[in-house]
Amino acid sequence: MADKRIGVGFIGAGEISVLHGIALREIPNARLIGLWNRTPDRAAKRAKEELCKRYETAEDVVKDPAVDAVVINTNQETHLKYARLAMEAGKHVLVEKPLATTVADVEEMKAIAERTGVLCVPGHNMIHEESITRAHRIIENGDLGKIVSCYVMYNIQHSEERASTLPGVVRHIFTHNLYTMMYLTGSKPVRVQGFKANRHYGKIDKEDITLVNLELENGALGHICSSFAADDLAPAPWTYTARVIGLGGTTHYTYGDWVEVKKGISHSHTYTAYQATITNEDQYFVNLCLYGGTPLSTLDDAIWCQKTTEALEKSIAEGITANVR
């Protein structure tokens, strides 16, 4: 078992697959066997880049005996479909976020995983950043004392062209920030109040910023900002910041600790630690496949994230503070 390598297949070969491809090249006990994409030209291009097989169908991916695990990189509306396909074929799956469109979809993923006995791991990559992991350990040990508040802030302008391919910041970025908050504080939201706006885009009818206040079950309060509208150009910017304040101390993490002056897939600069979160997540997933264990972020966490997201959408639509149920 110690010398075994996991064969991985991609269902979906979009931009996030580039980051997973980089990750798998850095992981000694895994290799990318092949990929499928609904657009054949894109599939051919990515297969050439990765020097791997190009499958004609998603079914071909999961039928290949060389594939032990599948990464689902498609749009969120199809995640359940392809996760079910892979799990029914006995393949472990890592599902990119947002995990699904409804709570029922995530609950069905969990039921299929339990029935088939394979892993279904949410793609909650930010909790695999080393600084976030260290912060979690400090908080869990009680070194910060009683937690007072948690802030997760994201202000990175995305072009209208790029944003048109994404589901809006509530579903795309708030999800990221929420599971990070839950991981850091070890606590679920019980009430949520939010606002959204479109301050930058003219041609697409999607929110580019949302501000959210949350009450956590441990009594602490949370605040999340998720914005594609504008970069924060302050001297100490809230580009991406996660901060937890307790009665006994504070922990803080920011993307700005490692920045390369070259354009990323979505960002004007390359925030070096982001790739590391994908690489660390994929290594963790591979180790789970090989040796077993419980994911840092479970499907139960993903279900609660989805419930909170839907409560946020209710809060915004009705102008109320919504309970998470």
- What are 47-86's pLDDT values in tens digits? 999 999 999 999 999 999 999 999 999 999 999 999 999 9
Same domain, 251 and 142: yes
Q: Tell whether 51 and 24 lie within a shared domain.
A: yes
Task: Assess if residue 231 is contained within a domain.
Answer: yes
Q: Are residues 116 and 170 in the same domain?
A: no
149 and 265 housed in the same domain: yes
pTM: 0.94
- How far CA 200 is from CA of 226, 227, 228, 286, 296, in Å, comes to 14, 10, 8, 40, 36
229: number of CA atoms within 13 Å, CB side? 15
Work out whether strand 209-216 and strand 249-254 pair parallel, antiparallel, or are unpaired. unpaired
- Counted domains in the chain: 2
| Domain CATH code at residue 164 | 3.30.360.10
Q: Quick one: 73 and 17 in the same domain?
A: yes
Angle at the Cα of 149 from the Cα atoms of 144 and 155, rounded to 5 degrees: 115
Q: Would you say residue 278 lies in a domain?
A: no
- pLDDT per residue over 192-248, tens digit each? 999 999 999 988 999 999 999 999 999 999 999 999 999 999 999 999 999 999 999
- Among the candidates 85, 102, 123, a domain finishes at 123
Q: Is residue 93 part of a domain?
A: yes
Are 184 and 90 contained in the same domain?
Answer: no
**One domain for residues 60 and 194:** no
Same domain, 11 and 97: yes
State which residues of the chain have pLDDT below 50. Answer: 1
> Is 319 part of any domain?
yes
Residue 262, pLDDT score: 85
- Sign of the dihedral defined by the CA atoms of residues 231, 236, 239, 245, in that order: negative
Residues linked to residue 322 through DSSP beta bridges, in sequence order: 192
User: Is residue 285 situated within a structural domain?
Assistant: no
Please tell me whether residues 26 and 153 are part of one structural domain: no
Q: What is the CATH number of the domain that holds 118?
A: 3.40.50.720
- Say whether both 168 and 209 belong to one domain: yes
Query: For residue 56, what are the domain limits?
Result: 6-123
Q: Are residues 182 and 311 in the same domain?
A: yes
